[in-house]
Chain A
Amino acid sequence: MNALIAVIRRDLLLVTRRKAEVLTILFFFMIVTSLFPLGIGADTALLRKIAPGVIWVAALLSTMLGLQRLFASDFADGTLEQMALSPTPLALLVGGKITAHWLVCGLPLVLLAPVIGIQFDLDASTLGVFILALLIGTPILSLIGAIGAALTLGVRGGGVLLSLLVLPLYIPVLIFGAGAVYAQSVGLDITGYFSVLGALLVLSLFFAPWATTAAVRIAIE
Chain B
Amino acid sequence: MSSNQPTLRAHSLTCIRGERILFAGLSFEVVSGEWLHVRGENGIGKTSLLRILAGLSKPAVGSIDWNNCSIEADPSEYHRNLLFLGHRDSLKEDLTAQENLEIATALDGVQVSADEVLHALHRFGLRGREDLPVNCLSAGQKRRVLLARLLLRQAKLWILDEPFNALDVHAVEMLSELISEHIMAGGMAVMTSHQEIPMPNGRAVQL
Contact = CB atoms under 8 A, between A and B. Distances in A.
A85 B95 contact: no
Contact of B94 (A7, A9, A14, A88): A14
Contacts of A79: 90-92
B11 to A, nearest CB: 20
B85 to A, nearest CB: 9
Contacts of B87: 78
A103 B85 CA distance: 31
A77 B90 contact: yes
Contacts of A83: 107
Contacts, number: 75
A18 B135 CA distance: 13
A83 B86 CA distance: 13
B106 A85 contact: no
Interface in A55-77: 73, 76-77
A146 B102 CA distance: 26
Given A2-B106, A6-B107, A93-B107, A85 B94 contact: no
Interface string A157-169: 0000000000000
Interface of A: 2-3, 5-7, 9-10, 13-14, 17-18, 73, 76-79, 81-89, 93, 220-221
Nearest to B81: A87
Contacts of B116: none
Interface residues of B, number: 30
Nearest to A77: B88
B114 interface: no
Among the interface residues A13, A79, A84, A85, which one has the most CB atoms of the partner chain B within 10 A? A85
B169 interface: no
Given A18-B94, A77-B90, A79-B91, A2 B109 contact: yes
Interface in B91-126: 91-95, 99, 102-104, 106-109
Contacts of A81: 56, 84, 86, 90
B86 A86 contact: no
A82 B133 CA distance: 19
B90 A87 contact: no
B76 A82 contact: no
Given A13-B99, A85-B79, A3 B107 contact: yes
Contacts of B102: 6
B94 A89 contact: no
A105 B110 CA distance: 31
Contact of B109 (A17, A73, A82, A88): A88
B92 A3 contact: no
A82 B90 contact: yes
A17 B94 CA distance: 7
A87 B76 contact: yes
